[in-house]
Structure 1
């Protein structure tokens, strides 16, 4: 079996076991990952920065007793610092080149992981499809005409495409879970404060953003979380301590759980029949595992909740553009994409008082939701409302493109203060994915589960959301469902190695 085949076929835990036994060397793995990265580069377009020379040097020096010794890895081109590596954030704004590592980067390296590339993202992680003016369109290894989702779409393309077995990802409104749902991966959105973002930032998007990974297996997600979670001296807060190792949680039987399923759209928008079949598939697997599942309604989740999230993101984008302008000593509006510019200008129209009031309303709704679901060990709900979209499907066209252009060129962003106009824009921005932002606001953990493949042969995952701080139960449930369904055996058909 070729080293490329080993890399393509195994999860990170399996690859590390082969290193520990001496069956494959870290340098062989690095060379195989680099070769596959280059071989699939045109089809996937998932690489922001190649790190090949540094990866080969690390492979030669890595301690082979480390938990994930020599396992090839990808780090997202957004929100995390690698010393000396340009961070573009998916933008044409000149890159930031840090002279330090993030705490999370240090923890990855201490685990033995070997970053071979940085992965593509849409500009500032704002779209749930990984397409940007700076880097172009990232494509799915399942079908190159379809999206990998976003914003961690480069990460999901590299893992599902067999370049690396695990990759760093981040999630501010579904950016771990949507790519996982589109590419057949496990994607755990962790509890707020579980993994530190320091020293780059204390928190991002008012605490909505968390970092973790996209993986091929539940055990990889659990092991990686064990190796990277925990407080940092610069982090302002941390999630409650787990009851034990996450890897142990993933290895144990979950027992009989009380589960719920939420089938409605908080936006009141259409949900495809295949999404609902995917949800039913998850429920059936859970019942086969011996769990009770009941349908619930969550009336506190409505259009006002989602609109509040979107307005807070607009405010955060305005702040980001201000910081970028300060970093470069000039305005950067001309460098960013039209949609980013419009969103930032809308954020500038919001007063501090308005933003604070929206956040307080979101927090109040979060408390209601957490209280209403406290009796359940997890709640199933969709991630994407439709099967993975064709590339470019969310680009504004016709009248929509004209309106966005006028908003930009004539500086008519003030029109978005009209509730009806803003509501239309919300629907056009989020018709593909209505649910993931819920857990970003509440701070709850939620895990994407690759339970279903569409009639067209594309993955379509759903999510299970848990109690705040309780990733352990989610991982235990997910591992059981993984065993029942056998989803770890699925691989994308792109360039299957010998």
Structure 2
């Protein structure tokens, strides 16, 4: 069997075992990953910066005793830095090249991982499809006419295509979970404060952004979290320490859990029959695992909640654009995409008082959510309202494009103060995915589970959201569902070695 075939078949834990036994070398595995990265690159377009020479050099010297020694890895081109590697953030703004590593980068290297590339993202992670003017369209290895989701779409494409078994990802409004749902992967949005974003930033999007990974298996998700979690001295938040290792949690029987399922749409928008079928599949799996399931509603998580979230993100984008302008010494308005520019102008238009009041309303809703669902070990709910969309499906067209152009060129962003117009823009932006921002606001962990494949052969995952700081229960439940379903053996059909 070729090394590329082994890479394509195995998860990171299995590959590390082969390296520890001496059956395969880090150099061989890295070369196979680079070969596959280049072979699939024209098809999926998931690489922002190739790091091949550095990867080859590291593979020759990495300590084979490290837990993930020699495992090929990708780092997202957003919100994290690796010394000497340009970070574009999916944008045409001049890249930032740091002379230091993020804490998470140091932890990845200390685990033995070998970064072979940075992965694509939409501009500043703002779209839930990985398509940008700077890097083009990232495509789904299950069907290259369809999206990988976003914003960690490049990471998901590389893992789903068998280029790397795990990849760094981040999530501010679903950006780990949406790509996982689109590409048949496991994706854990961690609790707020579980892993640090320092020293690049203390927090991002008012504490709503977290980092972790997209993986092929639950055990990989758990192992990587064991190797990277915990605050550093610069961290503003710290999640509740786990009772044991996350790996042990994923390996044990969860016992009988009390679960809930939420089928509604916070936006009141249509949900496809395939999404509901995926949710039914998840419910059937947990019932087979011996757990109780109760249907619930979340009436206080509605359009006003999502609108406050959207305005908060707009304010964060406005601030980020100011920071970028200061960094490059000029306005970056002409560098960014139209949608980013309009969103940033909306953020500039909002007063500090409006933003603060919105954040407080979000926190109030989150406290209620946590209090009223604490009786449940996890709540199942959708991630995406429809199967993975065709590439370009969320580009504004016709009247929508005209409105966005008018808002941009005539500087008519103040019109977004009109609630119906703002609501229309919000629906156009979020009709594909209604739910993930809930846990970004509440700080709860939530794991994407690849429970379903449509008749058209496209993955469609759902999520299980847990209590704050309780990734252990989620990992234990997810591992049980993985064992029952056998989803870990599924592979995208792209270029099977």
The TM-score normalised by the length of structure 1 is 1.00
| Corresponding position of 2:249 | 249
* Map of 1:271 onto structure 2: 271
Aligned to 1:369: 369
Q: Which residue is equivalent to 2:352? A: 352
Partner Cα distance (1:18, 1:485) in 2? 25
Map residues 106-117 of structure 1 onto 2, 5 A cutoff: 106-117=106-117
Question: Could you tell me which residue of structure 1 aligns to residue 68 of structure 2?
Answer: 68
Q: Is 1:305–2:308 an aligned residue pair?
A: no
1:63 deviates by 0.2
SS at match of 1:118: strand
Confirm whether residue 260 of structure 1 aligns to residue 294 of structure 2.
no
Report the Cα distance in structure 1 between the residues aligned to 2:329 and 2:231, rounded to whole angstroms: 34
Aligned length, in residue pairs: 497
1:360-410 per-position Cα deviation (integer Å, ceiling 9, x unaligned): 000000000001100000000000000000000000000100110110000
- Paired residue for 1:406? 406
Matched, 1:492 2:492: yes
Q: Which residue of structure 2 lines up, in the alignment, with residue 281 of structure 1?
A: 281
Counterpart in the other structure of 1:458 = 458
- SS for the counterpart of 1:109 is helix
Partner of 1:227: 227
Give the distance between the partners of 1:325 and 1:231, measured in 2 at CA: 30
Q: Does 1:471 align with 2:474?
A: no
Provide the residue aligned with 1:99 in structure 2. 99
- The offset of 1:300, in angstroms, is 1.0
SS in 2 for 1:256: coil
Residues 15-42 of structure 1 show CA distances to partners (whole Å, capped at 9, x for unaligned) of 0000000000000011000000000000
Q: Secondary structure at the match of 1:205?
A: coil
| Runs of at least 5 residues in structure 1 that lack an aligned partner in the other structure | none
Name the residue aligned to 2:11: 11
SS at match of 1:460: strand
Deviation at 1:459, TM superposition (A): 0.2
Deviation of 1:237 after TM superposition, in Å, equals 1.8
1:231 deviates by: 1.2
- 1:324-339 mapped onto 2 (5 Å cutoff): 324-339=324-339
Q: Which runs of 4+ in 1 moved over 3 A?
A: none
Whole-Å Cα distance in 2 between the matches of residues 416 and 24 of structure 1? 58
2:27 alignment counterpart: 27
Q: d(CA) in 1 for partners of 2:5 and 2:166?
A: 15
* CA distance, structure 2, for counterparts of residue 465 and residue 240 of structure 1: 16
2:278 match: secondary structure: helix
- State yes or no: 1:480 paired with 2:480: yes
SS state of the match for residue 140, structure 2? coil
Q: Which residue of 2 aligns with 1:322?
A: 322
What residue number does 1:389 align with? 389
Offset of residue 79 of structure 1: 0.1
CA distance in 1, matches of 2:231, 2:397: 45
Find the aligned partners of 2:408 and 2:425 in 1 and give their Cα distance. 14
The residue aligned with 2:82 is 82
Tell me whether 1:162 sits opposite 2:181 in the alignment: no
1:40 aligns with 2:40: yes
- Compute the RMSD of aligned alpha carbons: 0.3
* Distance in 2, Cα, partners of 1:470 & 1:395: 37
1:177-233 Cα distance to aligned partner (Å, 9 max, x none): 000000000000000000000000000000010000000000000000000000101
Q: Distance in 2 between matches of 1:181 and 1:33?
A: 24
1:188-207 to 2 correspondences below 5 Å = 188-207=188-207
* TM-score, length of structure 2 as denominator length: 1.00
Q: Could you tell me how far apart the structure 2 residues matched to 1:27 and 1:140 are? A: 28
Structure 2: gaps spanning 5 or more residues: none
Per-residue CA shift, 1:230-263, capped at 9, x if unaligned? 0101111210111110000000000000000000
